[in-house]
């Protein structure tokens, strides 16, 4: 399984090293709905309401001024703390909420003591219920129980101090315990709908709710926010090969490895079957890309995964943001997996990959023969690039040239192609016919570079290929770009002695009137016209017209895509000079004249070996 690296045997278990203490450790012990925002608003509200109740009670005329003053101070302090928590609480660190619960317990206990016993003390003790609700709603069972124990103990001590028999407070204190446990259970039941049972992470629903919260913070505080989607490569295949149990274990181990590396505030969720999602508050997209790379490295080389990164933009909805990250994952997958794509720069990631491929020597030049139809002799070759990708196998130019053109990676690619093909041509020319030529495809973007003719001249000088042995193939769309450089550049190139061919002729939009002004020497008739040659009869008016036109303009003609002897025969009869196609030879990395495919059936054109032609 390639996803598990070259070292893994099929069926072998992936070796993902996770520290023993982490295995099966629940990621989040507090209920998943306990986000900082909800925690802040609930705690703040309980403080404010509790404070007001205490303040109102402290207004009773029956109480002496010595008792009332500290009570009012305590109540006012509770209201103030509550208001601050409501406004700023989502920025408080996690531990501060334990401190707030502790402080609440202390204030209530002080009120119980100040009331000096009787019904007023018992009334104040009822506020312990607020503490109980807050703890069990937000904290894990153990910590919440610790808080419960501490307020029950503090209460018991206070009741003894003010001479209230415990039997009188048994019911309110007992109610607080029961309500607390019930709240804890209900909070966990509600959270279960937002939690993934396998990994204990938030599930997609939970993730979306948490993302909406995080986006609200990003919007309010203008801090920025990025998200990362992580998708395991070839997980389906792993599941099919190793079984779902093993697949589940793999997912848990990924979740554990990734959760461990996250900082506080960063939220990992299980987004889909083999897809994870990460919320990175206050994180610019570049840093998010690096974090994604680090996460991928954490599980590599045993396991590979693709990541997509997107950042929150003003006015985004959660689904828009997720959609962009999803698009980036798709880009990463379609560029060969095992990589991070950053939305907005997925193209750039692809370009980097192509440039890396050039440096790594993964590009390879193939050569396809061009023959003279009259003699069957090879008169030249066309250089056609291939990408020998370590994982995707042989990638055809249609799958990477367009992207290279969009991103600019075509410039280094073109320079490599020019030099490689010229070097090959220089080696071949000594063993070939005097007029033998090598044709190289050039993209419009290369031609638009001001220094391109000089680059061609340099390639000829470095490799020793005579200019007269080189043809550059350009397509008609190159001229549609209305670029001022292109015409003069082509003239300059022709002045060196290099020929220019118009590739895929007939598929572009050049008007006839422009054709005689284009600086070209050769037209290559597109394969589609050749394929349209009928099985019977010789009705080929368009081909006939193209050949006549080329003749009139004194241009050489090469027909592309000849696959049958009949097509060769028809073109030859029309007066087409040269041809190229699978019939004469497929593109191949090491082409020598002897590898030409022998053809022949109707006795018209038989090439047994180069230069050997029979009728």
Reduced DSSP (H G I as helix, E B as strand, rest coil) percent helix, strand, coil of the chain, to 5: 55, 15, 30
Question: Using CB distances below 5 to 8 A depending on partner kind, what does residue 362 bind out of ligand C2E, Mg ion, none?
Answer: none
Which window, 27-35, 205-213, 578-586, 603-611, contacts ligand C2E (CB under 6 A)? 578-586
Query: What are the structure tokens assigned to 297, written together?
Result: 């490295």
Question: Using CB distances below 5 to 8 A depending on partner kind, what does residue 508 bind out of Mg ion, ligand C2E, none?
Answer: none
C-beta nearest to Mg ion: residue: 473
Which window, 25-33, 49-57, 439-447, 505-513, contacts Mg ion (CB under 5 A)? 439-447
Count the residues of the shown chain that bind Mg ion, applying the rule CB under 5 A.
5
Q: Can you tell me which of 5, 397, 408, 508 binds ligand C2E, judged by CB under 6 A?
A: 397
Q: Can you tell me which of 587, 591, 596, 607 binds ligand C2E, judged by CB under 6 A?
A: 587
441 contacts ligand C2E (rule: CB under 6 A): yes
Q: Which is nearer to ligand C2E, 338 or 382 (CB)?
A: 382
To ligand C2E, the closest distance from the beta carbon of 8 in angstroms equals 33
- Residues in 405-424 that interact with ligand C2E by CB under 6 A: 414, 417
Q: Can you tell me which of 71, 187, 225, 385 binds ligand C2E, judged by CB under 6 A?
A: 385
- Residues in 470-499 that interact with ligand C2E by CB under 6 A: 473
Q: Which is nearer to ligand C2E, 135 or 501 (CB)?
A: 501
Q: Can you tell me which of 20, 66, 398, 594 binds ligand C2E, judged by CB under 6 A?
A: 398
Are 577 and 373 in contact by the 8 Å Cβ rule? The answer is yes
Query: What are the structure tokens assigned to 472, written together?
Result: 């550059």
Question: Using CB distances below 5 to 8 A depending on partner kind, what does residue 447 bind out of Mg ion, ligand C2E, none?
Answer: none
Question: Using CB distances below 5 to 8 A depending on partner kind, what does residue 561 bind out of ligand C2E, Mg ion, none?
Answer: ligand C2E
- Residues in 541-560 that interact with Mg ion by CB under 5 A: 560
Q: Which is nearer to ligand C2E, 344 or 506 (CB)?
A: 506
Q: Which is nearer to ligand C2E, 267 or 442 (CB)?
A: 442
Whole-angstrom distance, CA of residue 288 vs CA of residue 281? 10
Written as one string, the DSSP assignment of 298-353 is HHTTTS-EEEEEEE--TT--HHHHHHHHHHHHHHHHHTTSSSEEETT-HHHHHHHH
Written as one string, the DSSP assignment of 237-253 is HHHHHH-HHHHHHHHHH
Q: Can you tell me which of 85, 242, 252, 368 binds ligand C2E, judged by CB under 6 A?
A: 368
Count the residues of the shown chain that bind ligand C2E, applying the rule CB under 6 A.
24
Whole-angstrom distance, CA of residue 564 vs CA of residue 604? 12
Q: Can you tell me which of 372, 384, 456, 502 binds ligand C2E, judged by CB under 6 A?
A: 384
441 contacts Mg ion (rule: CB under 5 A): yes
Q: Can you tell me which of 149, 185, 394, 396 binds ligand C2E, judged by CB under 6 A?
A: 396
Whole-angstrom distance, CA of residue 314 vs CA of residue 244? 41
Q: Can you tell me which of 43, 432, 443, 565 binds ligand C2E, judged by CB under 6 A?
A: 443
Query: What are the structure tokens assigned to 205, written together?
Result: 């629903």
| SS3 readout for 435-497 | CCEEEEECCHHHHCCCCHHHHHHHHHHHHCCCHHHEEEEEECHHHHCCCCCHHHHHHHHHHCC
Length of the chain: 615
Whole-angstrom distance, CA of residue 562 vs CA of residue 581? 4
160 contacts ligand C2E (rule: CB under 6 A): no
Mark residues 476-515: x for contact with Mg ion by CB under 5 A, - for none. ---------------------------xx-----------
Are 115 and 67 in contact by the 8 Å Cβ rule? The answer is yes
To ligand C2E, the closest distance from the beta carbon of 346 in angstroms equals 21
Written as one string, the DSSP assignment of 350-404 is HHHHHHHHHHTT-EEEEEEEEEETTT--EEEEEEEEEEEETTTEEEPGGGTHHHH
To Mg ion, the closest distance from the beta carbon of 603 in angstroms equals 30
Q: How many helices and strands, by DSSP H and E, does the chain display?
A: 23, 16
265 contacts ligand C2E (rule: CB under 6 A): no
Are 350 and 335 in contact by the 8 Å Cβ rule? The answer is yes
To ligand C2E, the closest distance from the beta carbon of 441 in angstroms equals 4
Parallel, antiparallel, or unpaired for β 363-372 and 305-311?
Answer: unpaired
Question: Could you tell me which residues come within 8 angstroms of residue 603 by beta carbon, excluding any fewer than 6 positions away?
Answer: 615
Mark residues 497-536: x for contact with ligand C2E by CB under 6 A, - for none. ------xx----------------------x---------
Q: Which is nearer to ligand C2E, 344 or 397 (CB)?
A: 397
| SS3 readout for 138-163 | HCCHHHHHHHHHHHHHHHHHHHHHCC
CA torsion, ordered 110, 111, 116, 121, to nearest 10 deg: -130
Are 543 and 525 in contact by the 8 Å Cβ rule? The answer is yes
H or E stretch including 524?
strand 522-525
Question: Using CB distances below 5 to 8 A depending on partner kind, what does residue 587 bind out of Mg ion, ligand C2E, none?
Answer: ligand C2E
To ligand C2E, the closest distance from the beta carbon of 490 in angstroms equals 15
Q: Which is nearer to ligand C2E, 201 or 440 (CB)?
A: 440
425 contacts ligand C2E (rule: CB under 6 A): no
Written as one string, the DSSP assignment of 252-292 is HHHHHHHHHHPPTT-EEEE-SSSEEEEEEET--HHHHHHHH
Q: Which residues bind Mg ion (CB under 5 A)?
A: 441, 473, 503-504, 560
Q: Which residues bind ligand C2E (CB under 6 A)?
A: 368, 384-385, 396-398, 401, 414, 417, 441-443, 473, 503-504, 527, 560-563, 580-582, 587
């Amino acid at each position: 399984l390639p996803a598990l690296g070259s070292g893994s045997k099929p069926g072998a278990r992936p070796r993902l090293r996770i520290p023993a203490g982490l295995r099966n450790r629940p990621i989040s012990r507090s209920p998943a709905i306990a986000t900082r925002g909800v925690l802040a608003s609930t705690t703040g509200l309980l403080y404010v309401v509790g404070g007001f109740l205490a303040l109102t009670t402290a207004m009773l005329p029956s109480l002496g001024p010595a008792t009332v003053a500290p009570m009012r101070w305590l109540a006012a302090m509770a209201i103030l703390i509550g208001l601050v928590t409501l406004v700023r609480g989502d920025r408080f660190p996690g531990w501060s909420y334990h401190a707030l619960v502790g402080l609440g317990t202390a204030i209530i206990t002080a009120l119980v003591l100040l009331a000096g016993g009787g019904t007023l003390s018992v009334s104040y003790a009822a506020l312990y219920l607020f503490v109980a609700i807050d703890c069990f709603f937000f904290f894990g069972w153990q910590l919440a129980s610790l808080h419960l124990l501490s307020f029950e103990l503090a209460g018991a001590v206070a009741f003894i101090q003010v001479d209230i028999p415990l039997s009188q407070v048994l019911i309110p204190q007992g109610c607080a315990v029961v309500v607390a446990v019930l709240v804890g259970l209900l909070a966990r039941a509600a959270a279960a709908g937002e939690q993934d049972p396998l990994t204990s992470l938030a599930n997609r629903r939970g993730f979306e709710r948490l993302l909406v919260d995080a986006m609200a913070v990003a919007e309010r505080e203008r801090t920025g926010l990025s998200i990362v989607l992580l998708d395991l490569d070839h997980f389906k295949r792993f599941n099919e090969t190793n079984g779902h149990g093993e697949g589940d274990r793999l997912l848990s181990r990924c979740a554990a490895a990734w959760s461990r590396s996250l900082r506080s505030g960063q939220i990992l969720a299980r987004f889909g079957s083999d897809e994870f999602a990460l919320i990175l508050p206050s994180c610019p997209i570049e840093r998010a890309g690096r974090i994604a790379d680090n996460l991928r490295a954490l599980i590599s080389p045993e396991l590979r995964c693709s990541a997509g990164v997107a950042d929150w933009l003003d006015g985004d909805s959660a689904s828009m943001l997720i959609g962009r990250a999803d698009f980036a994952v798709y880009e990463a997958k379609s560029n060969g997996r095992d990589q991070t794509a950053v939305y907005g720069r997925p193209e750039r990631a692809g370009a980097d990959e192509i440039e890396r491929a050039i440096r790594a020597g993964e590009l390879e030049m193939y050569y396809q023969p061009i023959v003279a139809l009259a003699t069957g002799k090879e008169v030249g070759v066309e250089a056609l690039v291939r990408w020998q990708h370590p994982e995707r196998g042989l990638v055809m130019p249609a799958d990477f040239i367009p992207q290279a053109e969009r991103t600019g990676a075509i410039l280094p690619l073109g320079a490599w192609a020019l030099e490689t093909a010229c070097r090959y041509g220089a080696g071949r020319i000594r063993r070939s016919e005097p007029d033998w030529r090598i044709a190289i495809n050039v993209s419009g973007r290369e031609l638009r570079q001001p220094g391109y003719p000089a680059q061609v001249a340099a390639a000829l000088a470095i490799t020793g290929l005579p200019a007269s042995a080189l043809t550059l193939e350009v397509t008609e769309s190159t001229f549609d770009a209305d670029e001022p450089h292109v015409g003069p550049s082509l003239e300059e190139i022709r002045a060196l002695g290099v020929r220019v061919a118009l590739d895929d002729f007939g598929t572009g939009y050049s008007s006839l009137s422009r054709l005689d002004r284009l600086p070209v020497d050769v037209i290559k008739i597109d394969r589609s016209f050749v394929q349209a040659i009928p099985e019977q009869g010789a009705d080929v008016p368009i081909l006939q017209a193209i050949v006549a036109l080329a003749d009139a303009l004194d241009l050489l003609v090469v027909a592309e895509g000849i696959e049958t002897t009949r097509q060769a025969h028809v073109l030859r009869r029309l007066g087409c000079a040269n041809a190229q196609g699978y019939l004469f030879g497929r593109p191949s990395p090491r082409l020598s004249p002897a590898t030409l495919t022998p053809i022949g059936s109707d006795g018209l054109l038989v090439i047994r070996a180069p230069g050997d032609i029979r009728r």
